[in-house]
Chains A and B, each alone.
Chain A
C-alpha cells in the first residue's frame, strides 16, 4: 500500500487526515467493495430516496395538507389518476402525499430503537463477557428472561399497558431487542478477552472498563453493525405490524402499517389504499436487507487482504 507522507494543504484538517489515514483507506476500500454489489447499491438508493422524501415531504408532496391529515370528503376513494397518482383514501386524502409524509416514521423510529438497543445491549454484553463469573451469570439470566418473551407479544403487552402511541412502540421494541445484542457482544467478548492484546493491556495496568471500551467493544463492531442493518428492517416491520393492529400510530398519522390496516375494508373495491402502503413497507425493508447483506460482505474478515 503506498503511504502518503505528504499531505497537501496544512492545518488541522491535514493533520486529521494524517492521523486517520489508515481508517480513511479502509473506508475507501469498504466503499469500493460495497459498490460491487449492485443490489445493495439499489437498496442504498432506495433508502436515500426515502430519506430525502421524508425530509422534504412538505415540498415534494402534491397535496401536503392532505399528507398531514386534512381530509377532503368530496374526493374520497378515487382510483389512481393523473391528479392523484396513487388515488385517494377513505377520507379523500391523496395517498401519495400520505406515503411521503409517512416515510418519516420508520426512519425515525428505527434510528431511535437502534440507538437505544445499542446503548443498552452492547455495553452490557461487553461487561458480561469480559468479566465472566457471577457478573456474566446475572446479566445472562436477565437477558434469558427477556429473550423468552416473543417480541411482538411482549411489545403488544407493553403498549397495551402503557397506551398506544409510537413512542411506546419504540420503547417496547428497545426493551425486546436489546438482549440479542447483549448476547452477541458477550459471545465475542469472551473470546476477545483472551487475546494477547488484552493481556498486554492488563499487564500495562489499564483499568477493566477502559479495556472494555478500548479493546473489546471496538472489535465487536463488525458483526454488530451487520446485525443492526438487518434488524432495522425487522424493526420497521414490527412498527408497521403494531400499528396495523392498532397498538401503534393513531389516525390520522400517515404511518404505513396503519394505512394498510385502514384500507382493509376497502381492499376489494379500492385496492390502492392498502397496496401502495404495503409496497412502501416492503420496498424499504428489502432495501435495508440488501444493504445489510452487502455490509456483511464488506466486513467479512476473510475477504480482507
Chain B
C-alpha cells in the first residue's frame, strides 16, 4: 500500500471580480492528476511555472479545495473525511517551503518556531518542550546556542535546517518539500540534500519533492512525475524517465538543463514559445502547440495517462516512435526560426498558483 496515493485530483481556481465577487474565469491549475508515493522513497514532482506542481502539493497539504479526486494518505482519503478529522489525519505530513526566510516567522525565536507544532499537536510544555526542540535541532546540525535567536540572524542554509527541524517535530511519515533548495547556493544545497538524505534513512521518511532543477531530482528521487500545465505527462522511476524519456515535453525539459560539462553542449533543441495560459488551456493535449511531433489527433483529444513502456505516459505517439531520431531534422528546422507567437493579450494579470484564488491587480 503506498503511503500517499493521489487519483484524478483536480483543482480549479475562480477569478472573481467586483462587489458581488462574480466569477469570471477559471484557472485550471491541476486536472486529473494521479500518482503514488511508496513508503521510504522520494517522489519528485517536476515542472516549470504553471505546471501545477505547487497546486498539487498544496492540495495534499490541505491548503486549497480540490474540485474532485482523492488523496489517500495512510489509507485514509483526506478529501472524503469530514473537516474535523482531516487535520488529525494530516498529522503525519509536514512541509518545508522554498524560501528559508519567509517560511519562518521573523518575530519568533528558533525555540518557538520549532516547538509550534508540538504546542499545537501535543501537550508537551516547559522543559520537556525545550528538550525535544534541542533534540530536533541536533538532528539537523544546530545547537543550544541557536535556541533563542531569530531567523534573520541565520544564513539561508541554517534557516532551511530550522524549517526541517520544525517539520520533523511531530515525527511525520511524509514530508512535502516544495523546492527546498532552489533559493540556496550550490554548496549549501549540497549540505541540505545530504541532510535530507540522512534523515530519510534514519527516520524512514518519505518525501514528496517538488522541484524544477532536474539535476537535483536525478540525485534525490527514486520516482519522478513530470507535469505540464496542470497535468502529468509522464511518470515512472527516475532511471526510466531520465534515461529513456518518451514524452516530447520531458525530452525538451531534459535537453534544456544546462550541463556543467562544457563538452556536453545541450542538444540545442530548445523548446520554442511560452507556457500557455491555464485559464484557457489548449484543446486536446495541452502540450500540442509546442510539440515538434504533433499529429492531427493531438489537438482534438487529450491523451489519457496510461501504463506503457514501463511507466505512465500521456501521449498519442505510438510506442515505436523514436523521439531522438527526429532531433536533427527538428533542430535544423528550428535553427533560424524566430519565436513566432504574438504576445498574448492578457487583460488580466497572470495568475500563479500562489496568488490564486484572490486575484489582485498588479500595480
The answer to whether A and B touch directly, with their CB atoms under 8 angstroms apart, is yes
Residues of A within 8 A of B (CB): 1, 3, 5, 18-22, 26, 132, 137, 194-197, 199-206, 214-215, 218-219, 221, 304-305
Q: Could you list some 15 contacts between A and B, CB below 8 A?
A: A19-B148, A22-B109, A26-B150, A132-B358, A137-B19, A194-B355, A196-B102, A197-B102, A199-B95, A202-B63, A203-B94, A205-B120, A205-B121, A214-B105, A218-B107
Q: Is the CB of A22 within 8 A of B153?
A: yes
- Say what secondary structure dominates the interface of chain A: helix
Q: Is the CB of B97 within 8 A of A200?
A: yes
Residue of B nearest to A5 (CB): B145
Closest 3 CB pairs of A and B: A196-B103, A196-B97, A22-B150
- Whether B354 is near chain A, meaning CB under 8 Å from some CB there, is yes
A99 CB to nearest chain B CB (Å): 41
Q: Is the CB of A203 within 8 A of B148?
A: no
Residue of B nearest to A219 (CB): B107
Task: Provide the residues of chain B in CB contact with A194, threshold 8 Å.
Answer: 354-355
Task: Provide the residues of chain A in CB contact with B111, threshold 8 Å.
Answer: 19
Task: Provide the residues of chain A in CB contact with B63, threshold 8 Å.
Answer: 199, 202-203
Task: Provide the residues of chain B in CB contact with A214, threshold 8 Å.
Answer: 105, 108
Q: Is the CB of A200 within 8 A of B166?
A: yes
Residue of B nearest to A217 (CB): B107
Given the complex of chains A and B, what is the CA–CA distance between A194 and B104 in angstroms?
13
Given the complex of chains A and B, what is the CA–CA distance between A83 and B111 in angstroms?
63
A198 CB to nearest chain B CB (Å): 8
- Whether B62 is near chain A, meaning CB under 8 Å from some CB there, is yes
Do A200 and B95 contact each other (CB < 8 Å), given the known contacts A19-B148, A132-B358? yes
Task: Provide the residues of chain A in CB contact with B153, threshold 8 Å.
Answer: 1, 22
Task: Provide the residues of chain B in CB contact with A26, threshold 8 Å.
Answer: 150
Q: Is the CB of A219 within 8 A of B152?
A: no
Q: Is the CB of A21 within 8 A of B149?
A: yes
Given the complex of chains A and B, what is the CA–CA distance between A197 and B355 in angstroms?
15
- Whether B61 is near chain A, meaning CB under 8 Å from some CB there, is yes
Do A197 and B105 contact each other (CB < 8 Å), given the known contacts A22-B148, A202-B63, A205-B91? yes
Q: Is the CB of A204 within 8 A of B148?
A: no
Do A205 and B97 contact each other (CB < 8 Å), given the known contacts A5-B145, A219-B106? no
- Whether B34 is near chain A, meaning CB under 8 Å from some CB there, is no
Task: Provide the residues of chain B in CB contact with A305, threshold 8 Å.
Answer: 152
Task: Provide the residues of chain B in CB contact with A215, threshold 8 Å.
Answer: 105
Task: Provide the residues of chain B in CB contact with A197, threshold 8 Å.
Answer: 102-105
Q: Is the CB of B107 within 8 A of A203?
A: no
Given the complex of chains A and B, what is the CA–CA distance between A202 and B105 in angstroms?
13
Given the complex of chains A and B, what is the CA–CA distance between A21 and B110 in angstroms?
12
Given the complex of chains A and B, what is the CA–CA distance between A52 and B116 in angstroms?
43
Q: Is the CB of B121 within 8 A of A204?
A: yes
Task: Provide the residues of chain A in CB contact with B91, threshold 8 Å.
Answer: 205
Q: Is the CB of B95 within 8 A of A203?
A: yes
Do A18 and B102 contact each other (CB < 8 Å), given the known contacts A205-B120, A206-B120? no
